[in-house]
Amino acid sequence: RYGKKSGRALRFGLPAGVDAGRVRRIADGVFLTRDLVNTPTSDMGPEDLEQAVRALAARHKAEVSVVKGDDLLERNFPMIHAVGRASAGAPRLIDMRWGQQGAPKVTLVGKGVCFDTGGLDIKPSSGMLLMKKDMGGAANVLGLASMIMDAGLNVRLRVLIPAVENSIAGNAFRPGDVLASRKGITVEIGNTDAEGRLVLADALALADEEEPQLLVDMATLTGAARVALGPDLPPFYTSDEALASDLAAASVAAEDPLWRMPLWRPYDAKLSSKIADINNVTSDGFAGSITAALFLKRFVEKTEGWAHFDIFAWNPADRPHGPAGGEAQGIRALERIIAKRYG
* CA 222 to chain CA mean position, Å: 12
DSSP assignment letter at 133: G
What 3-state class would DSSP assign to 6?
Answer: coil
d(CA 166, CA 162): 12
Confirm whether 197 is a catalytic residue: yes
Catalytic annotation, pick one of 197, 297, 298, 336: 197
Catalytic annotation, pick one of 75, 97, 123, 341: 123
d(CA 149, CA 62): 9
d(CA 150, CA 19): 14
The one-letter code for the residue type at 286 is: F
Residue-by-residue DSSP string for 70-113: THHHHTT-HHHHHHHTTSSSPPEEEEEEES-TTSPEEEEEE-EE
Catalytic residue IDs: 123, 197
